[in-house]
């Protein structure tokens, strides 16, 4: 269902996920035992069935219900859902959100009902997609323990004068390890806001932690960039997590890390063809897959390379070799979706045409969809430039044609 909504109807993963979540709350389903399962939000389901409320109302109601503490009994939860559904018949989605805030305050006025189960369920930290300026907002819900850890660690790294990227003489590390005289001078030159100092302190802390542990590979930076962009210190590089990094900043980051840069001209003796001797792709193969694929190769999938697996074609169970020309990057969901049955996918590497060398996908068991498709989300630089077409000339009306005839006579 998700694939049909996201790819077949081209809604995208976000819209498809929101619709599935809404359907899970208001739909009536049959479980594996053949029993009919009533809607989780029964009053909301009735309102939707009557056409009284829309999808945005459902999302707001579901969000409020998710915030109700676990300790609240089932009858109270049911009355709360019914009240929200009733309010939604009269108010906009924003109004439902406001009513939900008041309802939550009534159910747990002093916060004593919320317990450890609620905090574990609600915890999260998300880095949102980059905007046109390559900047990213963050969204999170921190547990008291994580907040205490951050409040204990960050002030030492984010103190005035410390870890200032605009000041080459700024002390690095923690305030306890800084030279007092150098720190005092750096404080006088520091014009950053508290928020900017926290940002710079967090970056310095992460850079330091990345170099701890010797054999750790999770903190390595894997970057692909053209040699021309690197030489000109211009353009944008791509990291394995899908982050776009200006080349000028890449050079600064590379000074304090050991990034892996893709080399296309020579493989330096790295074994990229392992045949049947090994199922898992080697480190060198993973690096080359990133350089070629940049992320999941399934059509329309925006999963970055760090969330992908080395997908075999043919499948390993069917005799597929672990060779670079029989591997492609695929996220876990799409890697599991490859197979011969309807609703699954077939994959191959194109050997000719404008996309030769790219991994292509097409639905299995669908005789009407035989065209191989590639994923262009991670390769926007390869999309053709289209010149804007001028607007069409306005067609003359019958009266204008008649006037032209009179004037020409």
Model confidence pLDDT, tens digit, residues 82-131: 999 999 999 999 999 999 988 988 888 776 677 788 888 889 999 988 88
Report whether pLDDT(133) > 70.
yes
Planar angle of CA 103, 106, 107, nearest 5 degrees: 90
Of the pLDDT bands very low, low, confident and very high (cuts 50, 70, 90), residue 195 is: very high
Higher pLDDT, 12 or 356: 356
Of the pLDDT bands very low, low, confident and very high (cuts 50, 70, 90), residue 224 is: low
Nearest-angstrom CA–CA distance, 323 and 272: 6
Averaged pLDDT, 141-155? 86
| pLDDT for the residue 214 | 41
Domain ranges of the chain: 2-122, 127-210, 223-261, 283-382
What are the residues whose beta carbons fall under 8 Å from the beta carbon of 401, sequence distance 6 or more?
Answer: none
Segment 53-88, tens digit of pLDDT: 998 999 999 999 988 888 889 999 999 999 999 999
Percent residues over pLDDT 90 in the chain: 26
Residue from 176, 221, 170 nearest 197 by CA: 170
Residue from 69, 63, 68 nearest 88 by CA: 63
Residue from 53, 56, 69 nearest 121 by CA: 69
| pLDDT for the residue 306 | 83
Segment 319-378, tens digit of pLDDT: 778 777 788 899 988 988 888 888 888 888 888 888 888 899 988 876 655 788 888 887
Nearest-angstrom CA–CA distance, 356 and 326: 14
Q: List % helix, strand, coil for the chain (3-state, nearest 5).
A: 45, 10, 45
Would you give the DSSP letter of residue 138? E
Beta-carbon neighbour count of residue 316 at 10 Å? 16
* Chain centroid to CA 310: 19
* Chain centroid to CA 324: 26
Give residue for tokens 């410390």.
162
Residue from 11, 7, 66 nearest 41 by CA: 66
What's the pTM?
0.55
| pLDDT for the residue 124 | 93
Residue from 295, 209, 246 nearest 130 by CA: 246
* Phi, psi for residue 206 in degrees, rounded to 5: -70, -40
Higher pLDDT, 254 or 171: 171
Of the pLDDT bands very low, low, confident and very high (cuts 50, 70, 90), residue 394 is: low
Averaged pLDDT, 183-211? 91
Averaged pLDDT, 219-238? 63
| pLDDT for the residue 30 | 81
Of the pLDDT bands very low, low, confident and very high (cuts 50, 70, 90), residue 303 is: confident
Please state, in angstroms and as integers, the Cα–Cα distance from residue 43 to each residue in 98, 104, 289, following that order: 19, 18, 50
Report whether pLDDT(45) > 90.
yes
């Amino acid at each position: 269902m998700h694939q049909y909504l996201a790819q077949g109807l081209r809604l995208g993963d976000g819209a498809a996920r929101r619709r599935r979540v809404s359907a899970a709350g208001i739909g009536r389903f049959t479980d594996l035992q053949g029993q009919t399962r009533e809607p989780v939000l029964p009053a909301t389901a009735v309102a939707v069935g009557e056409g009284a409320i829309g999808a945005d109302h459902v999302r707001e109601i579901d969000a409020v219900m998710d915030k109700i503490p676990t300790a609240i009994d089932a009858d109270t939860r049911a009355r709360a859902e019914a009240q929200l559904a009733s309010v939604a018949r009269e108010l906009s989605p924003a109004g439902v959100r406001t009513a939900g805030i008041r309802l939550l305050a009534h159910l747990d006025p002093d916060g004593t009902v919320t317990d450890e189960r609620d905090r574990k369920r609600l915890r999260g930290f998300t880095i949102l997609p980059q905007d046109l300026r390559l900047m990213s907002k963050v969204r999170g819900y921190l547990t008291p323990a994580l907040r205490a850890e951050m409040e204990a660690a960050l002030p030492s790294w984010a103190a005035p004068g410390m870890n200032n990227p605009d000041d080459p003489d700024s002390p690095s590390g923690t305030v306890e390890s800084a030279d007092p005289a150098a720190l005092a001078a750096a404080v006088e030159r520091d014009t950053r806001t508290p928020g900017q100092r926290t940002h710079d302190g967090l970056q310095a802390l992460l850079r330091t932690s990345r170099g701890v542990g010797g054999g750790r590979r999770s903190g390595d930076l894997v970057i692909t960039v053209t040699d021309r962009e690197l030489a000109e210190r211009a353009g944008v590089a791509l990291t394995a997590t899908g982050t776009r990094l200006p080349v000028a900043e890449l050079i600064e980051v590379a000074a304090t890390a050991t990034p892996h840069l893709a080399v296309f001209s020579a493989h330096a003796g790295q074994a990229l063809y392992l045949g049947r001797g090994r199922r898992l792709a080697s480190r060198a193969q993973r690096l080359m897959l990133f350089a070629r694929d940049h992320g999941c190769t399934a059509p329309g999938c925006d999963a970055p390379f760090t969330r992908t697996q080395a997908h075999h074609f043919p499948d390993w169970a069917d005799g597929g070799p672990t060779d670079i020309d029989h591997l492609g990057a695929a996220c876990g969901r799409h890697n599991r979706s490859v197979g011969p049955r309807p609703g699954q996918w077939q994959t191959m590497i194109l050997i000719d045409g404008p996309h030769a060398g790219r991994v292509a996908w097409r639905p299995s068991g669908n005789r009407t969809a035989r065209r191989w498709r590639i994923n262009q989300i991670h390769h926007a630089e390869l999309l053709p430039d289209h010149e804007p077409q001028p607007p069409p000339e306005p067609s003359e009306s019958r009266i204008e044609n008649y006037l032209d005839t009179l004037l020409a006579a």
